Amino acid sequence: MKKIKNISAKTILLIGGMVLGFTGCSEDDDNPNTGEPIITSQSLKMDLSQFQKEDAGVFMQAFYWDVEPIGGWYDQVASEIEEWANAGVNRIWLPSPSKGASGEFSMGYDPMDYFDVGEFSQRGSENVETRFGSRQELEDLIQKAHANDIEVIADVVMGHNSGGGLQANPFRGGAEVFTLFNEENGNASGKFNRNFDHFHPNGVVDADEEALFFPETDLSHAVPYVQEWLWGRDDSVAEFYRSLGFDGWRFDYVKSFAPKWVTAWNDKVGGFSVGENFDGNQQVLKDWVDASGSAAFDFACFYRLDETLDRANDLTALGDAGNMLRKLDPSNAVTFTANHDTEKDPNPDNRISYGKKLLAYSYILTHDGYPTVFYLDYQAFKGQLNTLIEIYNTLAVGDVEIIEANKDEYIMKRSGSGDNPGLILYMNISGQTKQRTVQTNWAGKQLVDYTDNSRATPTADAQGNATLSAPPGSYTVWSITKE
């Protein structure tokens, strides 16, 4: 993780939380001098449950790289389902469930036997479970998620394979490659046996698949046999995942196969889907969304946040029009601040530093798009993230209007809808408290910060102007007080 010399946002929030713990008062606290209830910013807040959106919910990435305990991850996730449901999570993303070449140490991204989700002994190992657990534990987890109104999304790795036996490939001049998958070679289930005819190159022309991940062992989706086993047959991989209870799909590294194959998979089995198109160019993401009909992770938004919060230490670029997928196509933009890949990347330019995480979350959990919360981040910032999730599920409605975007400050307004008053986000990355008079939609109304990062309770004038503030290296989210 990146180190920062100044006090981090997390430290500031922790200190603030300690102060609140010692000095905060509830509506029931009485002034010892008068016996009257003390009026605090907490007591002025509206009950946000009245504004619950119809499409409320956030996405939880329910794993990180090299999860522990080995063999017990499904049970660990199951133990947290009710908490996540209460927080406002409506979908969880699980790692690829199929047995990988590295067995109990596999994170699922070296798929070997698509139909082994913790049932078969493979490659001489007596252990039948995946790193995450057994098939029964997986199905129990999915059932518990469904009982708590949470959909479960499977990670679909249909680009590359690993762990097959060696065989000579005539399309590679007779070179030996690991492309033999049968009962004796990494495919104990006996379903979807493969050989060199099903990988690149082969006798079928499929030039539209250009960015191969592992050229020797990337599946060729143009081969009808591969299409049938992945999604076409009634006993395909897609249908098998459906039978386990999965509700949707996260497609891994979609640059290695044509978007039409995602369309074909979704047409066959349906469900929510999102693609990992690892690209910071918003137009590349938009073109893929249009071609596949699927949502995509908003890597453009991720890199803008990393750039502005860390590399440039300048929020100005957040005000640029069209530099994120969520600005071009918010309904198909799955926003995020971290994932299993970014968190293990040694390049600091490919991840948002720990001290800036909450600032990044304040952005994605107040703007449009479908936000993702990363498991480890939730563990680290649970209280603050629960507050932001509640704000996203209630007040984050209406048009997005950028009020200010400069080096130190970013201020954004959501217009609200009907009785829902909307919100104003104020991000401040400077080393001192910032305040600014802005035009609100709340003429004559008293305001309060729903994140508790500020105790101020300003009142908008007759024209809607109000002086809002944000602490150093932190954020505030403003809306009206209760009547």
Sequence ranges of the binding site: 234, 408
Q: How many Å apart are CA 220 and CA 206, to the nearest integer?
A: 7
Token pair 């453009």 is found at: 300
| 465 phi/psi in degrees, rounded to 5 | -75, 135
Binding residues for Ca(2+), by number, are 234, 408
Q: Which of 116, 129, 252, 343 is flagged as catalytic?
A: 252
Q: Is 276 a catalytic residue?
A: yes
| 123 phi/psi in degrees, rounded to 5 | 55, 40
Angle between helices 73-87 and 382-394 (to 10 degrees): 50
Q: Which of 129, 155, 276, 307 is flagged as catalytic?
A: 276
Rounded-to-10 torsion of CA 245, 250, 254, 256: -50
Q: Is 210 a catalytic residue?
A: no
Number of residues that make up the chain: 483
Instruction: For CA atoms 252, 255, 261, 267, give the dihedral sign.
Output: positive
Q: How many Å apart are CA 449 and CA 428, to the nearest integer?
A: 14
CB within 8 Å of 77: residues ≥ 6 apart: 62, 63, 92, 94, 141
Cα–Cα separations (whole angstroms), residue 246 to 20, 191, 250, 273, 390? 42, 20, 11, 11, 26
Q: How many Å apart are CA 147 and CA 136, to the nearest integer?
A: 16
Of the CA atoms within 13 Å of residue 465, those in its CB half-sphere come to 4
CB atoms under 10 Å from CB of 400, counted, come to: 18
Q: How many Å apart are CA 257 and CA 163, to the nearest integer?
A: 20
Q: Closest Cα partner for 356 from 343, 337, 370, 372?
A: 337
Residues annotated as catalytic are 252, 276
